[in-house]
Amino acid sequence: MNYADQKVSVKEKMSFGLAGLGQNMIYNFSATYIMIFYTDMMKLLPAAVGTLMLVARIWDAINDPIMGSIVDRTRTRWGKLRPYLFIVPIPMAIITILTFYVPDLPMGMRLFYAYATYILWDMIFTVSDVPYWGLSAAMSQDPKERMSILSYARILCNVGMAISIIVPPLIISAYGGGEIGYLISAILMSVFGGALFFLAFFNTKERVEDYGEKTTMRGNLELVKKNKPLVLLQTSRMLGAFRMGLGAAGIYFAKYNLGDEAFFTILGAILIFSMIAAVFFTPFLYRFFTKKQLYMGSLVFGAIAHLLMFIFGYGNMTLVFGLLFLAGMGLGMNDVVMYAMVGDSVDYLEYKTQKRAEGVCFSVHTFTTKLQTAFATFAIGWILTLTGFVENISQSANAQNGIFWLISLLPAIASVLSLLPMFFYDFTEKQHKQMLEEMHGVQ
């Protein structure tokens, strides 16, 4: 099938996007609230929690490439990606609920329970994430269709993120800020999110056929080394890791700097609304700018917003809200373009090696995402410890300053660092089009 004929219906795009909404309800609930749940509900030390996150990501260095290799070796009548999207929703929901349960155990055993449940949650999320985003590249090779698919997905993923950020503080506050509020929130996010994720299996189709020989995991990893656009993009994301800590740090800011964790509902709503607005604008901007230009522009935009927030402080919350909106615009644009660039790198690799490897390429991407979160959470834990944070009491001025730096200065620095590898990124839209035409025999 000619790549230009790989059209995708609105129903299929919506189903793919709604599955992402469900997945993001679960993922972003965990990513945003797990740190404060561990420190304030399970009473674990912030530094210990940060170390836990880092250890879990070291295991990710093993299981993400394994999952990518398994996906690329899969051959079924449903495709190589979609079968995993049928298997994973129920286990993902169950382990998320267990992760937000406080066991009646001594402190040492609580820490062990946290390690076991969080690492298992992380492994199950890998099984969901690698084939889900790989599917976005397998549904169509048409660059416009792929951008459209990802725009639907990122809009709805951000809606899922909004639900997971805005609703839980209200539930937690209604239950007095205690552990039962976290558990009920986890049940709601997991049940509804898991149900929606099934749509990625039932209502989508893999159009990009791959009848190549199966490769080994080692062979797939060797392919990654040849994928220069992917390597540069993921290096950029790693250098900008602290941008992923905004949600986890934001709830500390709401609870301890503003005095009520329910304020995070407002902060989250502003951030998510701006991200969704940016997703709507990005396909329009793509008519005038390349993906590289949009990606780098979003980083500059975010760096300026966070730096101004740091300079002006949080005495004027209206200004903070406005700057947070601008930061969210940068995140939203970056989100759409980034996934499109990973999909393009799959085509680049296929052209260079005659091997199509959505699984391994997106496993590298999901590994980077989780490693970003790990480094951000690790840094949050140690900065809280070093600035004198103590859970569930009024914080010292030093601790409050440290918390504010987590949402202002550090994301600004991370955005600037993230720009550096992109100066060496030279895979253009023109080259991509020529590669697709050659692979499909278009004159």
Assign 3-class secondary structure to 354-377: CCCCHHHHHHHHHHHHHHHHHHHH
As to burial, measured by CB atoms within 10 angstroms (0-12 exposed, 13-18 middle, 19+ buried), residue 353 is middle
**Residue at token pair 């951030």:** 271
Residue 273 in tokens: 């609304």
**pLDDT at position 16:** 92
Distance CA 359, CA 351 (A): 16
Q: pLDDT-derived band of residue 23, with 50, 70 and 90 as boundaries?
A: very high
Distance CA 378, CA 372 (A): 10
**Residue at token pair 């609920």:** 97
Contacts of 314 (CB under 8 A, 6+ apart): 253, 257, 320, 404
Q: What would the mean pLDDT of 305-318 be, rounded to a whole number?
A: 91
Q: What would the mean pLDDT of 306-327 be, rounded to a whole number?
A: 90
**pLDDT at position 211:** 46
Alpha-carbon dihedral of residues 247, 252, 241, 25, nearest 10 degrees?
A: -30
Residue 245 in tokens: 């800590």
**pLDDT at position 372:** 83
Residue 311's CB is within 10 A of a number of other CB atoms, namely 11
Residue 415 in tokens: 């955005």
Q: pLDDT-derived band of residue 215, with 50, 70 and 90 as boundaries?
A: low
Question: Percentage of residues in the chain with pLDDT exceeding 70?
Answer: 94
CA angle, corner 345, sides to 339 and 349, nearest 5? 155
Least confident among 265-279, 285-299, 393-407: 265-279
SS3 call for 205: coil
Q: 229 and 427 in contact (C-beta within 8 Å)?
A: yes
The CATH architecture annotation of domain 7-206+215-439 reads: Up-down Bundle (1.20)
Asked if residue 232 has pLDDT above 60, the reply is yes
Asked if residue 424 has pLDDT above 70, the reply is yes
Contacts of 310 (CB under 8 A, 6+ apart): 404, 405, 408, 409, 412
Residue 434 in tokens: 């020529």
Distance in angstroms between the alpha carbons of the first and the last residue of the chain: 15
Which is more confident, 7 or 125? 125
Closest CA to 127 of 81, 173, 174: 81
Q: What would the mean pLDDT of 155-183 be, rounded to a whole number?
A: 87
280-311 residue pLDDT tens: 888 888 888 999 999 999 999 999 999 999 99
- Alpha carbons within 13 angstroms on the beta-carbon side of residue 235 total 15
Residue 411: phi, psi to the nearest 5? Answer: -65, -30
**Residue at token pair 């709830």:** 251
Distance CA 73, CA 172 (A): 43
**pLDDT at position 216:** 62
Least confident among 15-29, 241-255, 322-336: 241-255
- Reported residue count of the chain is 443
Sign of dihedral through CA atoms 415, 418, 424, 429? negative
Residue 254 in tokens: 């709401």
**pLDDT at position 443:** 45
Q: What is the radius of gyration, based on Cα positions, of the chain?
A: 21
Distance CA 180, CA 172 (A): 8
Q: What would the mean pLDDT of 380-401 be, rounded to a whole number?
A: 87
Residue 213 in tokens: 């020989």
Question: Percentage of residues in the chain with pLDDT exceeding 90?
Answer: 30
Distance CA 235, CA 212 (A): 29
